[in-house]
Each structure stands twice: as structure tokens, then as C-alpha cells.
Amino acid sequence: MFAAITVHEIGACTLESWTPAIGDPTIWGWATVVVYALCSILAVFVAIRMRPGRRQLFWILMAFLMAFFAVNKELDLQSALTAAGRCLAKLQGWYDERHIVQRRFIFLLLVTATIGFSIGLYQMRRHFRTHGVAIVGLATVAFFVAVRAVGFHDVDKLINDNVADIRFNFLFEVSGLILIASNAIYLLVVYARRRR
């Protein structure tokens, strides 16, 4: 059913329609990158101050995710993934049926994210009082990134609107980041007071 292709063919095709470039060279795009980087740094500081365990692992994962999202924000890596999928569909001859595969991929992505988030919530259930704001912030950011990666056109229209020259895109994304940073700062203040 599928034509045999090589990774080289997919790579060559992908690079025809996608090139590494600054994905959002606006002030709001760069501001978002800075906030992601700040969240990553704060998460590292929180993880350093914690004893080994679930809470420390949570903040280590948070630091890596925020660093990855900062890089992804400007390199637009999900567009490369979309281009590679489009190339795969063309090269294997199922481009006309790609919507079926897209729906299945979206469903699988949502199920995987829901399971991952549920496991994370269960693992952190005893620490929700002190880490809940960061968990909600992470869920907000993850949902936003997933919606952007999947590319729902109606949602794209909404988040690309603006109010007072500030895009909703920026407001939605940064709201989750503010929650993460606020929780990290709170924990750092608590640890600082305990050392006195």
C-alpha cells in the first residue's frame, strides 16, 4: 500500500518546504522566548533546592520543557514536523487521504497528552497545594502548544487577533508561563525563609 522511501528522500523533500529560520521575529515572539527561558532558569533553581524525589523530578522536567519550548518558539520545529508529514504523504501516495491520518494523529496526541497529564497529576497529588499553580500553568502551555502544532484554523484565527496591539497568541501562551514562574518564585521564597 505504501511506497518504500528513505529518510534521505523525506529530509530532502522537507527542506524544500521548510528551512530553519526565526519563527516569530516580533517583539512579542522574543518576549515569549525570554519568559520561557526565565521559567526554565527558575525551575532549575527550584530543583536544586529540593530533595531528590517526585517534586525535584517535576521541576527538572519543567526546566527541560521550558528550554525546549523557548528554542521551538523561534525555530518553529513543529512546522518542520508538519512539512515532513506532508512529504511522507506525497512520497508514499496517500496525500489525498491525509485528513484521515491527521485526525488519527490528533486523537493519538490528545490521548497521549491526557494520559501523561493524568499520570503527572496522580504522581503530584500530595504536592498539589504547593505545586498546583505550576501544574495548571504547564497544562495551559502544553494545551496551547498542542493546539498550535496541530493547526486548528478556527483557533489560529482567534489567537492571531489582537487587543491594544497585543496578540491573543502572546496572552494565552504567557498566562501559563506566568503561573509557572509565580509558583517557582513562591517556592524559592519559602526555601529562602527556611534557611534563615
pLDDT of residue 155 exceeding 90, the answer is no
All cell numbers assigned to 188 = 524559592
DSSP class of 124: T
Range 52-57 average pLDDT: 89
Q: Identify which has the larger pLDDT, 82 or 63.
A: 63
- Burial class, 192, CB count within 10 angstroms (exposed 0-12 / middle 13-18 / buried 19+): exposed
Establish if 84 belongs to a structural domain: yes
Residue numbers of the domain that contains 97: 7-12+24-195
Predicted confidence band of residue 166 (pLDDT cuts 50, 70, 90) = low
Hey, which of 93-107, 152-166, 168-182 has the most confident mean pLDDT? 168-182
Whether 37 has a pLDDT exceeding 80, the answer reads: yes
Q: Which of 138, 179, 170, 158 lies closest to 30 in space, CA to CA?
A: 170
Average pLDDT over residues 24-53: 90
Residue 66 CB burial class (10 angstroms; 0-12, 13-18, ≥19) = buried
pTM reported for the whole predicted model: 0.77
Higher-confidence residue of 165 and 125: namely: 125
- CB-CB contact of 139 with 176 (8 Å): yes
- Is residue 1 in some structural domain? no
Asked whether residue 19 is assigned to any structural domain, the reply reads no
**Is residue 116, in this structure, part of any structural domain at all?**
yes
Number of domains in the chain: 1
Residue 167, beta-bridge partner list = 162
| 34 occurs within a structural domain | yes
Residue 5 and residue 92 in contact, taking contact as beta carbons nearer than 8 Å: yes
Could you tell me if residue 2 is inside a domain? no
Tell me the pLDDT band of 38, cut-offs 50, 70 and 90: very high
Residue 188 in any domain: the answer is yes
Evaluate if residue 142 carries a pLDDT over 80.
Answer: yes
Q: Does residue 51 lie within any of the structural domains?
A: yes
Q: Residue 171, CB half-sphere, CA atoms under 13 Å: how many?
A: 11
